[in-house]
Amino acid sequence: MNDIVPDLIGIVKAIKKADFVYIIGNGGSASTANHFANDLVKMCGIKAMSLCANEAVVMAYANDNGYENVFSDQLKVFLTKNDLLITISGSGTSKNIVKAVQVAKKIGAGVYTFPTMRDYKCSMLEIENKHLRLAHDIVKKL
């Protein structure tokens, strides 16, 4: 099994330091982003939000500005330099994820990217399981 050991201490410190945590992902990763945000808020008392959770906002940006902008346009409204963006993606190459990271870096916010299929050398099904486990491991450390 090719397992990467993510920097749990680093991400836990970044989450604790951030004023607000924003989480993004597509498809199954969007569900993981929603689940992770829920755990951060309810179990850890962390100010967190999944930018996938409000379907009306996502669809409005997708319709008016293109799907590649659904996260970056929301970040332009919400994100500050004291915040943290967490990306969850199987490939890590989706245009909307890449653009969101670019916006976050331009604002000066922290960015943490979950490892991808390429990092783990695994399938989409396997990476989705690893992502949920990583989210739970982070919550346990908080």
What pLDDT, in 10s, does the model give residues 17-59? 999 999 999 999 999 999 999 999 999 999 999 999 999 999 9
Residue position matching structure tokens 């500050």? 80
Confidence of residue 7 (pLDDT cuts 50, 70, 90): confident
User: Which has the closest alpha carbon to 27: 86, 97, 76?
Assistant: 97
- In this predicted structure, the answer to whether residue 2 has a pLDDT above a threshold of 50 is no
- In degrees, rounded to 5, the angle at the alpha carbon of residue 84 between the alpha carbons of residues 11 and 33 is 80
Domains by residue range for the chain, with CATH? 20-141 (3.40.50.10490)
Please tell me the least confidently modeled range out of 3-7, 53-57, 125-129: 3-7
| The pLDDT of residue 4 | 55
